[in-house]
Chain A
Amino acid sequence: MDTVKYQEGRVVHQVEAIDGHSVEIPILKILKQDGSVYENADMPAIEQELATKIYKTLAFHRVLDERMTASQRQGRLSFYMSALGEEAASVGSAAGLDDNDMIMAQYREQGALIFRGFSLENFMNQMFSNEKDLGKGRQMPIHYGSQELNYMTVSSPLGTQIPQAAGYAYGQKLKGNKQCTICYFGEGAASEGDFHAGLNMAAVQRSPVIFFCRNNGYAISTPSSEQFAGNGIASRGVGYGIRTIRVDGNDLLAVLKATQDARHYAIENNKPVIIEAMSYRLGAHSTSDDPSGYRTREEEAKYADHDPILRMKNWMLANKWWDETQEEELFETYRKDVLAAVKVAEVIEKPAIEELITDVYDKAPEHLEQQLADLKEHIKKYPDAYPVTAGRL
């Protein structure tokens, strides 16, 4: 029986209170920073082909983040968000899924999308909001989405995808196709009402969803110590009756293992799982943020020693699945590719003016058609004021 009508338990006659720390939550670690594996650790299912794909994903991720942050500083791009220092969380978890599982990202999970095979061109077209952007140039850079790759288009308001994931996974369950949904969010978003609503809905309706919290220590400038009291985000899962796993988020093998386990459990039992990946956001929140205003260089240096990509590389080298020549060639190739793709994407035309009124509804209603017609007449009258669209009318 899941339902307890009248709580029975150990009876005491003096007040014996418990708090958030009374429930000890273990943390899963498999891989050490030097590339060796903890004794007796349960390894995830991984062979050389998957390991190489994962490592290439991590490498591309870091190059993309470096280059796009630089492009933003050069004024070529309006905005960017890097995931420096926490790449293993999104890549390791995506690698633990089936390609048909749905990914609902917050905004810092480009690693999962790279793993799924989103092309470099697709990344660039979205960031430069040109006419080839799958999202038709409507959202800020980094709001990717792809129906083909089962990656739900990112929405800016925080946490809104958490109850949506509960509903999406419920639909997957009803269809009986043995798929699940993974839903990413940060520890800051876990303060939103949507988090509590979503976890409770998933637990009660028995949705096969993996709630994946990237606890990276900061929500923009707010440290996690000012974000929540109690034992992290994982302890909330316990309260909602949800299977809960805490993992070293910089340990790719541990994240992969936790996700493989979570996926199996979610699908076999039609129940949610929450994974809290402990990490540290080494970079700024976004290109609009400067962490030097709220934390010290000493603090950042301490976490730089936990670089998840270096840790994975050390393991690959120890397995003789990788060498320094391959390393150098790979990074060099990616750097060239990304720069070349920026140059292509930034000169592609903006979406047509007609896209202003498509997709508001399934078909544009008359009042929107009228507004578009009026707007076009206006632009024709003052073409100099609307240089992007005037020449194309």
Chain B
Amino acid sequence: MAQMNLLQAINNALEIAMTENESAVCFGEDVGHFGGVFRATSNLQEKFGKDRCFNTPLTEQGIMGFANGLAAQGSVPIAEIQFADYIFPAFDQIVNESAKFRYRSGNEFNVGNLTIRTPYGGGIAGGLYHSQSPEAYFAHTPGLKIVVPRNPYQAKGLLLAAIRDKNPIIFFEPKKLYRASVGEVPEEDYQLPLGKAEVVKNGTDITLLGWGAQMETIEKSAEMAEKQGVSCEIIDLRSILPWDVDTVAASVQKTGRLLINHEAPLTGGFAGEIAATIQDKCFLHLESPISRVCGLDTPFPLAHEKEYMPDELKTFEAIMASVNY
């Protein structure tokens, strides 16, 4: 075991993937010698050469189109979009091409080797173009898998699983935690399962569900609620698509209550999808309405970041309202 921050864990996973498979190629804006704006790809160019780790021109559409072609050819592209906010110029290539390559060709061709890494979310004073959480847009698209890790251990194990999975994956990295989150990470190779949620803490009164950077918020709010005598079960969804309905439903059938927390705006956010499914699966077990604590339906603000965020106080209030319903 070693102490690693989230970036080091990702860098370590990339190095393992590129060592084991010489078809693995990392690219994106500034990812070459500079190691990416957050340094997730540090030292990879030195180790694997400029052919396998390189800077691209400033064209997200070009990066994703190129990555699709490279994956279709049989290589293992690990493409970085510098900020998740900048994934939209590549939307057509991801939604119409990556996601549908296998289906539309009857499996004559596929881009299953593709992994897209991109930093998402607020907490770095990045304002509206460096703070977005666009997972819900992609969750509407069959053919993609969407994964969000919450800490360095999770990041390494999930990223290695994503790179080796035979489907195109968008791997959203909580950039707020890149350096802030440090933990024990095995130096050797390991994988964590995709499409499986993790029960982080057992409890009996309410299920708290989230992913990525919001897991810290949820844990803080749970501590506050515990002091009021409320027993919280905490679940990290880890994969947004496909998502682990069974684990969440089993928990809600036990606790009778569900609170979903995400950073993205409330309207059309993925919490709505979860709420609809869980009320279908658990209707007779529910003791109160399913609660959503999410970002506001505004662009991500700069000055009022704290106000915008679904923080531990808002989450705590929602827990108490649910329990006292």
A168 to B96, CA, bound (A): 18
Interface bits A170-196 vs B (CB < 8 Å: 1, else 0): 111011000001000000000001101
Question: Contacts A152-B109, A198-B62 known; A174 to B54 CB distance under 8 Å?
Answer: no
A167 touches B195 (CB 8 A): no
A284 to B121, CA, bound (A): 49
Residues of B within 8 A of A358 (CB): 107
Q: How many residues of B contact A (CB 8 A)?
A: 50
CB neighbors of A among B220-249 (8 A)? 242, 245
A23 to B129, CA, bound (A): 40
One of A135-143, A231-239, A274-282, A374-382 contacting the partner: A135-143
Residues of B within 8 A of A365 (CB): 195, 242
Q: Is B184 part of the binding interface, using a Cβ–Cβ cutoff of 8 Å?
A: no
Q: Which size class do A's interface residues fall under? A: 35 or more
A153 touches B143 (CB 8 A): no
Query: Which one of B70, B75, B100, B106 contacts A136 once the chains associate, using CB atoms below 8 Å?
Result: B106
Q: Is B166 part of the binding interface, using a Cβ–Cβ cutoff of 8 Å?
A: yes
B73 touches A153 (CB 8 A): no
B105 touches A367 (CB 8 A): no
Q: Is B66 part of the binding interface, using a Cβ–Cβ cutoff of 8 Å?
A: yes
A196 to B67, CA, bound (A): 16
Residues of A within 8 A of B52 (CB): 174
Query: Which one of B59, B104, B112 contacts A197 once the chains associate, using CB atoms below 8 Å?
Result: B59
Query: Which one of A145, A160, A181, A197 contacts B109 once the chains associate, using CB atoms below 8 Å?
Result: A145
A147 touches B57 (CB 8 A): no
CB neighbors of B among A56-79 (8 A)? none
Q: Is B51 part of the binding interface, using a Cβ–Cβ cutoff of 8 Å?
A: yes
A205 to B55, CA, bound (A): 9
A167 touches B56 (CB 8 A): no
Residue ID in chain B nearest A172 by CB atoms: B73
A167 smallest CB distance to B (angstroms): 3
A194 touches B61 (CB 8 A): yes
Query: Which one of A102, A155, A197, A361 contacts B167 once the chains associate, using CB atoms below 8 Å?
Result: A361
Question: Contacts A153-B108, A359-B103, A362-B166 known; A160 to B56 CB distance under 8 Å?
Answer: no
A205 touches B54 (CB 8 A): yes
* Max chain A Cβ within 10 angstroms of own Cβ: one of B23, B66, B93, B112: B66
Q: Is B307 part of the binding interface, using a Cβ–Cβ cutoff of 8 Å?
A: no
Query: Which one of A102, A143, A164, A196 contacts B66 once the chains associate, using CB atoms below 8 Å?
Result: A164
Q: Is A163 part of the binding interface, using a Cβ–Cβ cutoff of 8 Å?
A: yes
Question: Contacts A147-B109, A174-B25, A200-B62 known; A153 to B93 CB distance under 8 Å?
Answer: no
Residues of A within 8 A of B61 (CB): 163, 193-194, 197
* Max chain B Cβ within 10 angstroms of own Cβ: one of A196, A198, A201, A358: A201
Residues of A within 8 A of B245 (CB): 367
B248 smallest CB distance to A (angstroms): 13
A164 touches B62 (CB 8 A): no
A194 touches B65 (CB 8 A): yes
Query: Which one of A145, A160, A204 contacts B108 once the chains associate, using CB atoms below 8 Å?
Result: A145
Residues of A within 8 A of B57 (CB): 197, 200-201, 204
Query: Which one of A102, A135, A157 contacts B97 once the chains associate, using CB atoms below 8 Å?
Result: A157
Q: Is A310 part of the binding interface, using a Cβ–Cβ cutoff of 8 Å?
A: no
Q: Is A112 part of the binding interface, using a Cβ–Cβ cutoff of 8 Å?
A: no
Residues of A within 8 A of B110 (CB): 359, 362
B109 touches A155 (CB 8 A): no
Query: Which one of B23, B70, B106, B107 contacts A167 once the chains associate, using CB atoms below 8 Å?
Result: B70
A318 smallest CB distance to B (angstroms): 41
Q: Is B254 part of the binding interface, using a Cβ–Cβ cutoff of 8 Å?
A: no
B11 smallest CB distance to A (angstroms): 22
Q: Is B186 part of the binding interface, using a Cβ–Cβ cutoff of 8 Å?
A: no
Query: Which one of A161, A165, A200 contacts B59 once the chains associate, using CB atoms below 8 Å?
Result: A200
A361 to B77, CA, bound (A): 18
CB neighbors of A among B245-277 (8 A)? 245
B69 touches A168 (CB 8 A): yes
A127 to B72, CA, bound (A): 24
A58 smallest CB distance to B (angstroms): 26
A167 touches B102 (CB 8 A): no
Query: Which one of B64, B69, B101, B103 contacts A165 once the chains associate, using CB atoms below 8 Å?
Result: B69
B66 touches A201 (CB 8 A): yes
A135 touches B106 (CB 8 A): yes
Residue ID in chain A nearest B195 by CB atoms: A365
B118 smallest CB distance to A (angstroms): 17
Residues of A within 8 A of B107 (CB): 136, 358-359
A167 to B89, CA, bound (A): 17
A167 touches B66 (CB 8 A): yes
Interface bits A85-119 vs B (CB < 8 Å: 1, else 0): 00000000000000000101000000000000000
Residues of A within 8 A of B101 (CB): 153
B104 smallest CB distance to A (angstroms): 5
Residues of B in contact with A (beta carbons under 8 Å apart): 23, 25, 51-52, 54, 56-57, 59, 61-75, 77, 89, 92-93, 96-97, 100-110, 112, 142-143, 145, 165-167, 195, 242, 245
Q: For the A-B complex with A168-B72, A194-B62 known, give 19 more contacts whose Cβ atoms are closer than 8 Å.
A: A135-B104, A135-B106, A136-B106, A138-B103, A138-B104, A138-B106, A147-B109, A157-B97, A163-B66, A164-B66, A167-B71, A175-B74, A194-B92, A201-B63, A205-B66, A359-B103, A360-B103, A360-B142, A366-B242
21 pairs, CB–CB < 8 Å, chain A vs chain B:
A134-B105, A135-B104, A147-B108, A153-B108, A160-B93, A160-B96, A164-B65, A166-B65, A166-B69, A167-B69, A168-B72, A171-B74, A175-B74, A194-B92, A197-B59, A197-B62, A201-B56, A201-B62, A361-B102, A361-B167, A362-B112
Residues of A in contact with B (beta carbons under 8 Å apart): 102, 104, 133-136, 138-139, 143, 145-147, 152-153, 155, 157, 160-172, 174-175, 181, 193-194, 196-198, 200-201, 204-205, 358-362, 365-368
